[in-house]
Amino acid sequence: MPETIRMGGLELRFLRSREDTEGSLDLFEMVVQPRARMPVPHYHESWDETVYGLSGTVTWRIDGQDVPVGPGGTAFIRRGVVHGFRNDGEAPATCLSVLTPGILGPAYFREIAGLLRDGAPPERLGEVMRRYGLIPVP
């Protein structure tokens, strides 16, 4: 059964996770509200990410380059490559993200969502990111 996790202007609906794919992949749909963004550029130590646009346009900043991903468009983010994203539009944008192999799972997003709800300091968010293999880049 899909699980939905909300974090500020982002909503993730997990469709498959490492738990039910024996670590093959994590698959989630992400809705990015207008003007929302990933506040911390980062890279992944142990997995690659592929993004497929469903509606609207999410602009991914990948290795210093802006890559707009609209309906039918894709972006590939190799492990170790710094990235982030934002929605510059006036409407929500939706994309599908596939993480391979499936290492992250929804637990990371649940924990971050809780910290954001509680108003945790940025240092605490960075600690959680690093524990799950996401390395923040100033």
State which fold the 3-136 domain adopts: Jelly Rolls (2.60.120)
pLDDT digits (tens, 9 = 90+) for 13-72: 999 999 999 999 999 999 999 999 987 899 999 999 999 999 999 999 999 999 999 999
CA distance 66 to 68: 6
Tell me the pTM: 0.92
- Provide, rounded to the nearest whole percent, the portion of the chain with pLDDT above 70: 99
The structural domains of the chain, with segments of one domain joined by +, span 3-136
